[in-house]
Structure formats: structure tokens, C-alpha cells
Amino acid sequence: PLPPAERLEALAAQNPDVARWAAETEQREAALALEKAKRLPDLSLSGGIKHAQETLDQALTLGLGSPLPLFDRNQGGVLEAEHSLAKAQAEQRAAALRAHAALATAYQELASAHAEATILNGQTLPAARAAFEAARTGYQQGKLAYLDVLDAQRTLFEARGDAIAALAAYHTATADVERL
């Protein structure tokens, strides 16, 4: 039986083409946070012991340094990271839309193949089999010509071939839907 389309739509978010963009978006968000952190200058702390040879004195020295961000506030890096994040989010939405559209198409093909296989295996094939048996029985009783038996047999074989092709199309469509 066909699974409900709503359940498949809910599972489409797990499609690898869509799921990979979640990780990409997280990476771009981290890059944006890094670029924002680069706007603040790094403090440098230094320390040591100073020894004066002439007086034999020793002194402890400490230093704290910070560059003044007068000309570099990393605006370009932040802006680039923001655009990169927006692009990743747009790509994620586009991938989700592509996956949903492909799933809708594949589901329609699956439903069509399912209906065709059901009709062929449930109605056409039994009717062709019954017609062949009736023609064979009629030939054995001398009521029908051998060409009628051959025609019924050809129809039965064509129906079997169509049923096999419909089942192959159904299983191919099932594989496509499961992949999506």
C-alpha cells in the first residue's frame, strides 16, 4: 500500500541534501561569531623580572597592552560572514524546496505505478488468463480455431509483460521516494 503523502513530507527534512545545509548554516554562524569577536582587540599581558647590574637590584615588571582599533573594526569580515550566513540559509531553503518538489513528483509516479500494477494484476491479468483458458478449452472441443488460441495466448503474454513492467516501475518509484 502507498504510504500517506503527509508522512513522507515530514520525512523529507531528513533528506541528505537538506540536512547538510543545517550543518553548513551552523558553521557559518560560528564564522560570524568569530568575525564579531575579532572586532575587539586582544589584550596582551606581559611580566618578568628586571635585574640592574650596577646596583644589583631586582624588580618585578608587569605590562598590559591593547591595540587601539581606530582604523580596523573588522567591518568587512563581519559583513562577509553575514552575507555568507544569509547565502547558506537561502541555499537551505532552496534545497528544501527542491527536495519537496522532487518528492511530490516521485510520489505521483509511485501512485500512478501502484494504480497501474493493481489494475493489471487484479483485473487485466486474470481476465486474459480466463480468456486463454476458454480459448484453449474451445479449441480442444473443436469450437475455435487454433489462431484464436494463439491470439488469446499472445494477449496473456502481453498482459504478463505489462504487469511486470508496471511492477518494475512501482519498485523504481518506491526506491526514488525512499531516497528522497
pLDDT, tens digit, for every residue of 100-154?
A: 888 889 999 999 999 999 999 999 999 999 999 999 999 999 998 999 999 999 9
Looking at the chain, the whole-number percentage of residues with pLDDT higher than 70 is 98
Is this model's pTM higher than 0.85 or not?
Answer: no
Of all helices (H) and strands (E), which one includes residue 32? helix 16-37
d(CA 19, CA 16): 5
Q: Is the pLDDT of residue 40 over 80?
A: no
Strand locations in the chain, DSSP E?
44-52, 57-65
Q: What is the pLDDT of residue 72?
A: 66
- State the Cα–Cα distance between residues 17 and 173, nearest whole angstrom: 19
Say whether pLDDT at 71 is over 70. no
User: Could you give the CA distance from residue 98 to residue 101 in angstroms, rounded to a whole number?
Assistant: 5
**pLDDT for the residue 45:** 86
Mean pLDDT of the chain: 88
Under DSSP, the state recorded for 80 is: H
Q: What is the dihedral of CA 88, 89, 90, 95, to 10 degrees?
A: 80
- Comparing 43 with 173, the larger pLDDT belongs to 173
What confidence score (pLDDT) does residue 168 get? 95
Distance CA 38, CA 30 (A): 12
* pLDDT in the model for residue 124: 93
